[in-house]
């Protein structure tokens, strides 16, 4: 029997598919492990998450610069950063059924959990995806799909300093794909092989790192609030030295209460001057910063707030999932904050077969769409069913055009969470909606 938490996860995966949020990658060919595709609503939800992140951490600050670096980089980047040597997980293979497991996640290392067969010795397995650039497949043409977006930021440090002349402390932000050949992808969007990250490298003077670390810790909690992840389901874990990445002097994992356990959502690391120093040494480029205030040159230290888009998406979905009862009927709804909701408003004509209602509703929809592009028009089925459909995808407001609208230009505005309805004048509708939707 599935536990309540397992059922919650099944419900989320099923809702995500049924309502166009997330589909299994290459589904019609039987899927592909560790890959999920975002559907029409998922792409909007992910877009809103990325948009809030960019607004909070780039637009609303004066010390941040955005970049968009290539996924394929010179392989020396990853040799220098230490990834070719140390970015690995321990793998164990079953001699009988050939299944592979992460050694650190196996309770019993003597028998295969799938078939009971004998297991091989644990060996490090590098998680970077290898590929070849150009027409020849030899060791000189090897490249890697980047395992973290951070690499693209470090190699562009000098370009940003030379072109933008930022004052220290300052940060470089990037949103993009990263790839990890995970041994055991699992738990829906939690452990993927193709993922998206939102990362910041925040450059500081060495003596400023502790203050900046604390500022970013608070900023990350503020972001959680903005996207609707409650504080009570986030736990900060001080990562012990033995478990920290090779470059880090201090790391906090922000863990989330997923139905499958308390696991990492985001990370905050103090990477010292490790990356810039190593890249300077290996490339010969001058990656120092001239500090006019102190009249000296040095390699800045770095604080790295790192967010997975997909894990944030999953945490936002799980945080919004609600079940209640309306007039004796079970209702499933997503209580998204308006800023993340993939559809902000849905417009309905009360009846589909009354052209005057449909025309009026379409006019109102077109007028609103110019200002609120994430909007839906629905004339299918009875009004109760339409409300339920919008509740299930987390649409905060529904507008219904009925016969009174034709008489007095008022419409019904319905609130998703309370299901309460109010009558508002058509000419005030846009302003009222704008006020209700602004949450940032
Ligand atoms: N630049 C630092 C870095 O990449 P990380 O802890 O390995 O650190 C940062 O990854 C974030 O990326 C994680 O906190 C998580 O949100 C996301 N992430 C990492 N691996 C992932 C995977 N296999 N699937 C989905 N998200 C992942």
Which overall architecture, per CATH, does domain 4-72+148-317 show? 2-Layer Sandwich (3.30)
Is any atom of ligand 1 closer than 6 Å to the C-beta of 147?
no
Residue 73 tokens read as 């980089």
Provide the pLDDT for residue 440.
Answer: 44
Atom of ligand 1 nearest to the CA of 193: 23
Report the predicted TM-score, pTM, of the whole model to 2 decimal places.
Answer: 0.96
Count Cα neighbours of 348 within 13 Å in the Cβ-side half-sphere. 25
Domain 343-437, CATH? 3.40.50.800
Segments of the chain scoring below 70 in pLDDT: 439-440
Spatial distance between the Cα atoms of 134 and 342, rounded to a whole number of angstroms: 40
DSSP state of 233: G
Nearest CA to ligand 1 atom 18: 308
Provide the pLDDT for residue 247.
Answer: 86
Provide the pLDDT for residue 245.
Answer: 87
Is any atom of ligand 1 closer than 6 Å to the C-beta of 182?
yes
Atom of ligand 1 nearest to the CA of 192: 24
User: Can you list the pairs that 1-7 forms with residues at least 24 positions away whose Cβ atoms lie under 8 Å?
Assistant: 5/259, 5/260, 6/259
Residues 6+ apart with CB under 8 A from 104: 89, 90
Residues 6+ apart with CB under 8 A from 120: 92, 93, 94, 95
Atom of ligand 1 nearest to the CA of 147: 4
Best probe residue, ligand 1, of 126, 246, 311 (max atoms within 8 Å of C-beta): 311
Same fold, 4-72+148-317 and 343-437: no
> How many angstroms separate the alpha carbon of residue 404 from the centre of ligand 1?
53
> How many angstroms separate the alpha carbon of residue 307 from the centre of ligand 1?
7
Is any atom of ligand 1 closer than 6 Å to the C-beta of 199?
yes
Q: Are 394 and 342 in contact (CB under 8 A)?
A: yes
Q: Are 239 and 251 in contact (CB under 8 A)?
A: yes
Read off the pLDDT of residues 201-214 as tens digits, 9 standing for 90 and up: 999 999 999 999 99
> How many angstroms separate the alpha carbon of residue 263 from the centre of ligand 1?
11
Domain spans of the chain, in order of start: 4-72+148-317, 343-437
Q: Are 176 and 152 in contact (CB under 8 A)?
A: yes
Nearest CA to ligand 1 atom 17: 308
Provide the pLDDT for residue 439.
Answer: 57
**Total count of residues recorded for the chain:** 440
> How many angstroms separate the alpha carbon of residue 340 from the centre of ligand 1?
21
Beta bridge partners of 334: 321
Spatial distance between the Cα atoms of 114 and 98, rounded to a whole number of angstroms: 10
Say if residue 300 is preceded by a cis peptide, omega within 30 of 0.
no
Spatial distance between the Cα atoms of 140 and 343, rounded to a whole number of angstroms: 49
Q: Are 86 and 128 in contact (CB under 8 A)?
A: no
Best probe residue, ligand 1, of 197, 224, 249, 275 (max atoms within 8 Å of C-beta): 197
DSSP state of 119: B
DSSP, collapsed to helix, strand or coil, labels residue 305 as strand
Q: Are 410 and 422 in contact (CB under 8 A)?
A: no
Nearest to 168 by CA among 343, 290, 3: 290
Radius of gyration of the chain (CA): 25
Spatial distance between the Cα atoms of 247 and 273, rounded to a whole number of angstroms: 9
């Amino acid at each position: 029997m599935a536990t309540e938490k397992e059922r919650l996860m099944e419900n989320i995966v099923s809702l995500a598919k049924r309502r166009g949020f997330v589909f299994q990658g290459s589904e019609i060919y039987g899927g592909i492990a560790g890959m999920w595709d975002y559907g029409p609503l998922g792409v909007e939800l992910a877009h809103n998450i990325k948009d809030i992140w960019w607004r909070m951490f780039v637009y609303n600050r004066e010390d941040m610069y955005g970049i968009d670096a290539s996924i394929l980089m010179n392989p020396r980047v990853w040799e220098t950063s230490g990834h070719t040597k140390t970015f690995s997980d321990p793998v164990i293979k079953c001699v009988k059924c050939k299944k592979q497991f992460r050694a650190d996640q196996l309770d019993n290392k003597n028998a295969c959990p799938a078939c009971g067969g004998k297991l091989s010795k644990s060996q490090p397995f590098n998680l970077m995806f290898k590929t070849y650039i150009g027409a020849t497949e030899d060791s000189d043409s090897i490249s890697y799909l980047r395992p973290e977006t951070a690499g693209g930021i470090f190699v562009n440090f000098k370009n940003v300093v030379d072109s933008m002349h930022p004052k220290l402390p300052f940060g470089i932000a990037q949103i993009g794909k990263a790839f990890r050949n995970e041994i055991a992808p699992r738990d829906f969007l939690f452990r993927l092989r193709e993922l998206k990250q939102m990362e910041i490298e925040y450059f500081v003077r060495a003596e400023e790192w502790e203050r900046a670390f604390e500022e970013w810790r608070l900023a990350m909690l503020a972001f959680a609030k903005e996207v609707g992840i409650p504080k009570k389901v986030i736990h900060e874990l001080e990562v012990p030295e033995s478990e920290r990445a090779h470059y880090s002097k201090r790391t906090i994992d922000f863990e989330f209460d997923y139905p499958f356990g308390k696991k990492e959502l985001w990370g905050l690391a103090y990477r010292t001057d490790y990356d810039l120093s190593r890249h300077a040494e290996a490339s010969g480029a001058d990656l120092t910063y001239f500090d006019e205030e102190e009249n000296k040159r040095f390699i800045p230290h770095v604080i790295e707030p790192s967010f997975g888009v997909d894990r944030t998406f999953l945490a936002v979905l799980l945080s919004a999932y609600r079940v209640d009862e309306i007039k004796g009927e079970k209702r499933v709804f997503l209580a998204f904050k308006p800023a993340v909701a993939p559809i902000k408003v849905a417009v309905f004509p009360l009846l589909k077969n009354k052209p005057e209602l449909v025309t009026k509703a379409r006019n109102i929809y077109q007028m609103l769409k110019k200002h609120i592009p994430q909007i839906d028009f629905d004339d299918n089925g009875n009004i109760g069913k339409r409300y339920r459909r919008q509740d299930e995808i987390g649409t905060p407001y529904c507008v219904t055009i009925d016969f009174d609208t034709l008489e007095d230009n008022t419409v019904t505005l319905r609130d998703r969470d309370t299901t309460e309805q109010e009558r508002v004048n058509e000419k005030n509708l846009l302003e009222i909606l704008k006020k209700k939707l602004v949450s940032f």
